[in-house]
Amino acid sequence: MSGAAVHSMLRKTKRTKGAENTALPNPLANGRKPPAEEGISKKKQERFAKLLILEFFTSEIEGKVTGMMKKSPETVGFAVRLLSDKNSIERGCAVEALADAANKGVDIAIAVPALMEILGSEYENTYERENAARALGGAAENGADMTPAIPALVKALRGWDTGLRSSVAKTLGIIARRDRKTRTMIVNGILGLMHSEWFQKEMKGNSVDYTEAMEALDHIFDTIKKAEAARA
């Protein structure tokens, strides 16, 4: 999308409220546990936590954690609990494991609210946020309703990290395939982003962030066009 096209779009549209101030629900607030965690033994929890870390640091057992999640769905709930762990290593391993599992067909729908919180937090490292975006994309591929995550994903396009922005764009592209209502929500969110002070500043300066953001938006809009063409 050219700069002229961006200016034209902004002139033709009213400022749309994105969901930059949308509160992201946390299923683990007040000490609550994910429902799928019920029934998982302490021994299995310990084994699962060890596998998470081992798989992160070695390729020799690649796929073991995903296999365990497929075989024992309650371990997904335990992985969700680790997303709020103060231990950054375990938390990072859990986010990556959920992303890998989701992209192999494992249902991680119960992890969506917690993943949204990680993605929306600018205090988390970009590695965790990127994997959170990947996991949300996998959940969308598996049929989860991802409309609540659209505001957090659109906001994350403002991130300075190329990998994060790319993962977010891919995930929004996946979500856009769902239906026209969902695509409209994404477009409205993007219009709100484009009207934001951040976007206007980066556009005027023709910064690297602006260029990369436009590449991400091109990918999303291209996916939306294809989805609309397939619907016709």
Q: What is the pLDDT along the chain (232 residues), one digit of tens a residue?
A: 554 554 454 454 444 444 444 444 454 455 545 544 445 667 777 777 777 777 776 666 667 888 888 888 888 888 888 888 777 788 888 899 999 999 999 999 999 999 999 998 876 688 899 999 999 999 999 998 899 999 999 999 987 888 999 999 999 999 999 899 999 999 999 999 999 999 999 999 999 999 999 999 999 999 999 999 987 6
Q: For residue 221, what are the CA distances in angstroms to 155, 167, 196, 227?
A: 16, 15, 19, 10
Handedness of CA 115, 108, 94, 176 (dihedral sign): negative
What radius of gyration do the chain's Cα atoms show?
18
Chain centre distance of CA 145:
13
Burial 35-52 (b: 16+ CB within 10 A, else e): ebbeebeeeebeebbebb
User: Is the CB of residue 108 less than 8 Å from the CB of residue 101?
Assistant: yes
Count of structural domains within the chain: 1
pLDDT at 31: 52
pLDDT at 71: 83
Chain centre distance of CA 215:
18
Q: Where residue 184 sits, what CATH number does that domain have?
A: 1.25.10
Task: Please give the structure tokens belonging to residue 10.
Answer: 């902004």
Enclosing domain of residue 225: 3-231
pTM of the full predicted structure?
0.78
pLDDT at 5: 53
